[in-house]
Amino acid sequence: MTITLARQHSVYDTKAVESAQERARAMKSVELEAFYENMLELGGERFLTTPSTADALDPLYEDCPNFGEVLDDLSRYLGLALAGGASFNVMPVLLLGDPGVGKTHFGKRLAGVLGTEFEFISMNALSAGFVITGSSSSWRGAKCGKVAERLVRGRFANPVVLLDEVEKATGSTQSDPMAALYQLLEPETSRAFHDEFIDLDLDASQVFWVLTANSLEGIPPALLSRMAIYEVPSPTPEQAAAIAQKVYAGLLKELKLQQMETGLSDSVLDKLSEISPREMRKALLDGLGFAVAAGRSGLTPEDVRVKPDVCKRRIGF
């Protein structure tokens, strides 16, 4: 059995927050003063989690079977961290692959096995770096960035933060989303990450960064040098069948359908083999409805009704 070990880690200095609150009060910035008050109430300490054994990542080999290469490396790094009593803090991971191979799902499951929180940031929708770094409190509608939001209001110093489609990030010369990443993806400089809204340094050095991209085009070489890059293939037919069985088992448990057969037939798996897990879930949910309505305890290929154009998509999450 894997137990998540946790210790306290300081994310910000409460004395610095008190001084900043005084300045906000002098400037009559009610919103900023209230934010600092919230920071003081929460305190500057957050949990830093580490699984108690390197086997903690084993479930991901089954749930995300096409991520074997990255899981092999992470398992070794976790073993090293446990051997030395250090925190599990690896260099940022870039998952490179076609749309739909399961990159976001992997990030969510990784956060789950590490016993920490998950933050999703779509870089494709990012028109400026403010979403990451926050915007100046002097601006109308100003607020802190997502990194500060997670570290301040979350419970953990080491959340998994997934930056999706990083190659599609755009921005202005005043607020380049890539610029913030140069600091955040470097261990030394991320210890004093400055959010523009709260105007304080935060320790973001324990954040577990997962970046995704469909290609390397558009990502500066200097940024790539800060990451471990993994090419993620689409699942093989055998892996797709295993994923379908997992989705099916999860639905039976969720819906408490104890009367249904616990496994799917080869003919049903063949029909599901080219569908993404999200589509698998809907197809299996509908199929279970048809089977239960017909009074059967197992699914038939006819129960799995998939649109022909959907079947042609790559499997993914």
Q: What's the pLDDT score for residue 314?
A: 44
Q: Residues with Cβ < 8 Å from 182, sequence gap 6 or more?
A: 189, 222, 223, 226
pLDDT tens-digit readout, 260-303: 999 999 999 998 887 776 688 899 999 999 999 999 999 999 99
Whose tokens are 């069948």? That residue is 241
Q: Minimum mean pLDDT among 199-203, 232-236, 293-297, 309-313: which range?
A: 309-313
- Dump pLDDT digits (tens) for 223-263: 999 999 999 998 888 888 998 998 899 999 999 999 999 99
Q: State pLDDT tens for residues 130-187.
A: 788 887 776 666 788 999 999 999 999 999 999 999 988 865 545 577 888 999 999 8
Structural domains of the chain ordered from first start: 4-231 (3.40.50.300), 237-311 (1.10.8)
Q: Using CA atoms, how far apart are residues 232 and 251, in angstroms rounded to an integer?
A: 27
Instruction: List, as one string, the DSSP characters of 134-179.
Output: ---TTSTT----HHHHHHHHSSBSS-EEEEETGGG----SS--HHH
| pLDDT tens column, 28-61 | 888 899 999 999 999 999 999 999 998 999 999 9
Pair 186, 226: CB distance under 8 Å: yes
Would you say residue 128 has pLDDT above 60?
Answer: no
Question: Alpha helices of the chain — where are they, by DSSP H?
Answer: 14-26, 30-42, 58-63, 68-84, 103-114, 130-133, 146-153, 177-184, 187-190, 221-224, 237-255, 266-272, 277-293, 308-311
pLDDT category of residue 26 using cuts at 50, 70 and 90: very high
